Structure 1
Amino acid sequence: MLILKTLTDIPVKNTATVEDLLFNGNLRERMLALGVTRGASIKVVRKGPKGNLTIYNIRGTKIALRSEESNLIIVSDN
């Protein structure tokens, strides 16, 4: 059974697969340009000291996302 979560729910050093994006407009275009597309594998590298920023490895590139952005990315556990 496929259990869907947001990217924020995935623990450090774990990997998830993107199932859907809840973004609209420019932010959606930015995420797509960064490689955050359906089926993409995302690894959680580390969380910032205050927990607001998290570093992710997406298609070989490390990007930092705020928790408000990570909450809009629906993923499934790998």
Structure 2
Amino acid sequence: MNISLDNIPIGQTVKVKGISDGSIKRRLMDMGIVPGLEISVEGRAPLGDPIEILVRGYKLTLRKNEAQSILVEKEVE
């Protein structure tokens, strides 16, 4: 089941399945967010926007609307 990145709790690792929004898809891919990549949610601002994620060893901060465009699959533990 694919869900959007903004619904993932802090500390959880997920695998990117795709990016749904065409208008920011290229920008997210240029930042290294591609299908098959494992990312983890590191933090969240008090009101939920922005969201901090760990991607390829570096921290990246995304707006909530950007995170909603990233479809992910929860890792099986």
TM-score of the superposed pair, with normalisation by structure 1: 0.89
1:53 maps to 50
Instruction: Give the CA RMSD over aligned residues.
Output: 1.0
Q: Deviations over 1:43-78 (max 9, x none)?
A: 000101221101000111111111111001000001
Instruction: Provide the rounded CA distance (Å) in 2 between the counterparts of 1:55 and 1:33.
Output: 17
The number of equivalent residue pairs is 75
- Are 1:33 and 2:11 matched, yes or no? no
Q: Which runs of 4+ in 1 moved over 2 A?
A: none
Instruction: Provide the rounded CA distance (Å) in 2 between the counterparts of 1:73 and 1:61.
Output: 18
TM-score of the superposed pair, with normalisation by structure 2: 0.90
Q: Which blocks of at least 5 consecutive residues in structure 2 are unaligned?
A: none
